[in-house]
Amino acid sequence: MKRETQSQKDFNDKDLEYLVAQAALFQTAGFETSSSTMTMTLFELVHNTAIQDRLRSEIKEYFGYEDHISYERLQEMAYLGQVVNETLRKYLIAGFVERECAQPQSGEKFTLKPHYDFKVPSGMPFYVSILEIQRDEKVNICLKVPIKYWPDPEKYDPDRFAPENRDKINMDAYMPFGIGPRNCIGMRLGLLQAKLGLVNLLHNHSVAKCDKTIDSFKFDVKTPIIASNVDIYVRLQKD
């Protein structure tokens, strides 16, 4: 039974529609993003068996002999977090972010030099490729000294995010969920779903190559999110 409180008296139908729409967005966006992250992780684990063995060892250690795992134990899996972070670096869900230029009232204006002689007007919307940033070893953003981001960016290396290497990472160059106050509101839900799915799958199963497993792929140019242009197959093997 729904009871109306004092704070609900000014709550109209449009507000309700807005909340329902937000809930639907959480549900639909969460499924696709989490499944894509898990798919790309399994694709890399197939081609990097040492990483898969290390991840499965951690999962078995934390899972124990129970048939489920708690939220707290899931968050304690350090290597699982590194694996998911590296997957999202190499295969982030959205390849770009949209921003609006806000030129300072005083001081040097933002330009595209030395690449182009163009001063960006205030209020102009533009797209920034996150994919290029997260797969770039060195990016010169109009600075005298190039900023080093990701050494050997095509290599799948979860140890980039190991605690002892965190100070070597420029976290401004890592934004799979966006960055700033308008980053993805469903970040924690998406990470939780991806981690939980991988843990339950790899607890008693391993993945290996099959006849249809591909070694590489190109991104599908017809989708608004990062996705493979071909189907990805792996062999699931029960222990």
pLDDT tens across 152-165, in order?
899 999 999 999 98
Cα–Cα nearest to 236, from 202, 199, 196: 202
Helix, strand and coil in the chain, % to nearest 5: 45, 10, 45
Distances from the Cα of 89 to the Cαs of 2, 118, 138, 232, in angstroms? 44, 30, 15, 19
- Residue 210 has what pLDDT? 93
- Answer yes or no: is 193 within a domain: yes
- Answer yes or no: is 77 within a domain: yes
- Total of domains in the chain: 1
Higher pLDDT, 128 or 64: 128
Distances from the Cα of 228 to the Cαs of 136, 155, 224, 225, in angstroms? 20, 18, 12, 10
- Answer yes or no: is 130 within a domain: no
What is the CB-side half-sphere exposure of residue 212 using CA atoms within 13 A?
Answer: 7
- Answer yes or no: is 98 within a domain: no
pLDDT single digits (tens) 64-99:
767 778 888 889 999 999 999 999 999 988 778 788
Q: Residue 36 corresponds to which amino acid?
A: S
- Answer yes or no: is 118 within a domain: no
Residue 167: which domain range? 11-93+156-238
Rounded-to-integer distance, Cα 235 and Cα 28, Å: 27
Q: Output b/e per residue, 14-28; b: 16+ Cβ within 10 A.
A: eeeeeeeeeeeeeee
CATH of residue 24: 1.10.630.10
- Quick one: angle between helices 49-63 and 187-202, nearest 10? 90
- Residue 217 has what pLDDT? 86
pLDDT band for position 1 (50/70/90)?
very low
- Answer yes or no: is 6 within a domain: no
Q: Is pLDDT of 182 > 70?
A: yes
- Residue 30 has what pLDDT? 67
**43-64: average pLDDT:** 93
- Answer yes or no: is 49 within a domain: yes
- Answer yes or no: is 33 within a domain: yes
